[in-house]
Structure 1
Amino acid sequence: MNSTNADFDSVWKQAIERYWTDFVELFLCERWDGLGAPESQDQELHRCSRDGKLGLFRVDKLLRTLGSDGLPCLWHIEIQVARQRGFAERMYVCQYRLYDHFHLPVRSIAILGDPSPTWRHDHFDLTAGKTHTKFEFEVVKLRDFEGRIAELLLSDNVFAWLVSAHLCTLHTRREPMDRFNVKASLLTGLNTCDWSQEKFLNVYDLIDRMMSLPEALQVELEKQQNLLAGRHQMAWVMLIEQRAEQRGLERGMAQGLEQGIAKGMEKGMEKGMEKGMEKGMEKGMEKGLEKGLEKGLEKGLEKGLEKGRDEGRTAAMRNMLESQLALRFGPLDESTRLRIAEGALPELEKWTLAVIEAKGINEIFGSLT
Structure 2
Amino acid sequence: MDRPDLAWKLLLLRSLPAVLANLFPEIYALIDWALRYCIPDKNLPPLAADSRTGEREPDFVAIVSLKSGQQACIHIEIQCTRQACFAERMELYHARLRDRFGMQVFSLAILGDPSPTWRPNSTSQLLYGCGTTFRFPIAKLLDFRDRLETLLDAREPATLALACHVIALATRRHPEVRYRTKRRLLWSLHENHITGQELIELQKVLDWMLPLPMAWRRRLIMDIEEFILEHEKEDKNSLNYIIPELILRRCKKRAEDEGRAEGLAKGLAKGLAKGLAEGLAEGRTEGRAEGEALGAMQGQRRTLMLQLEARYGRLPGRAMKALARADPAQLDQLAVALFDADSLKNALNAAGLRI
- Would the TM-score normalized by the shorter structure come out above 0.5? yes
Q: Paired residue for 2:199? A: 200
Q: Is the 8 A contact 1:143 1:167 kept in 2?
A: yes
Q: Paired residue for 2:7? A: 11
Distance 1:86 1:44 in 2: 21
Which runs of 5 or more structure 1 residues have no equivalent in the other structure? Answer: 237-369
The structural deviation recorded for 1:145 is: 0.3
Q: 1:158 to 1:121 in 2, by over 3 A?
A: same
Relative to the length of structure 2, the TM-score reads 0.58
Q: Paired residue for 1:72? A: 71
1:73-112 alignment, distance < 5 Å: 73-112=72-111
Q: Is the 8 A contact 1:188 1:228 kept in 2?
A: no
Q: 1:92 to 1:193 in 2, by over 3 A?
A: farther
The structural deviation recorded for 1:150 is: 1.1
Q: 1:99 to 1:86 in 2, by over 3 A?
A: same
Q: 1:193 to 1:133 in 2, by over 3 A?
A: farther
Distance 2:36 2:146 in 1: 31
Q: Deviations over 1:182-231 (max 9, x none)?
A: 21122223445574343133212311232112344324323423543779
Q: 1:11 to 1:51 in 2, by over 3 A?
A: farther
Q: 1:50 to 1:76 in 2, by over 3 A?
A: farther
Residue 127 in structure 1 maps to residue 126 in structure 2: yes
Q: 1:68 to 1:48 in 2, by over 3 A?
A: farther
3-state secondary structure, aligned to 2:43:
helix
Letter in 2 for 1:25: A
**What percentage of residue pairs aligned between the two structures are identical?**
27
Q: Is the 8 A contact 1:11 1:210 kept in 2?
A: yes
3-state secondary structure, aligned to 1:47:
coil
Q: 1:51 to 1:61 in 2, by over 3 A?
A: farther
Q: Paired residue for 2:179? A: 180
Relative to the length of structure 1, the TM-score reads 0.56
Q: Which structure shows the bigger proportion of residues in helix conformation?
A: 1
Relative contact order, higher structure (CA 8 A, sep 6+): 1
Q: 1:157 to 1:192 in 2, by over 3 A?
A: same
The structural deviation recorded for 1:175 is: 3.3
Q: Deviations over 1:298-336 (max 9, x none)?
A: xxxxxxxxxxxxxxxxxxxxxxxxxxxxxxxxxxxxxxx
Q: Paired residue for 2:250? A: none
3-state secondary structure, aligned to 2:98:
helix
Distance 1:217 1:49 in 2: 49
Distance 1:197 1:92 in 2: 39
Q: 1:22 to 1:96 in 2, by over 3 A?
A: same
Q: Deviations over 1:96-140 (max 9, x none)?
A: 112222222211010000001111111112212233422111110
May I ask how many residue pairs the two structures share in their alignment?
231
Q: Deviations over 1:67-110 (max 9, x none)?
A: 33222221110000011102111110111112222222211010
Q: 1:67 to 1:49 in 2, by over 3 A?
A: farther
The structural deviation recorded for 1:148 is: 0.4
Residue 20 in structure 1 maps to residue 16 in structure 2: yes
Distance 1:198 1:99 in 2: 34
The structural deviation recorded for 1:171 is: 2.0
Letter in 1 for 2:158: F
Q: Is the 8 A contact 2:32 2:65 kept in 1?
A: no
Q: 1:49 to 1:197 in 2, by over 3 A?
A: farther
Q: Paired residue for 1:319? A: none
Q: Is the 8 A contact 1:88 1:123 kept in 2?
A: yes
1:143-292 alignment, distance < 5 Å: 143-191=142-190, 193=192, 195-228=194-227, 232=234, 235=240
Q: Paired residue for 1:114? A: 113
Query: What value does the CA root-mean-square deviation take over the aligned residues?
Result: 2.8
Q: Is the 8 A contact 1:76 1:106 kept in 2?
A: yes
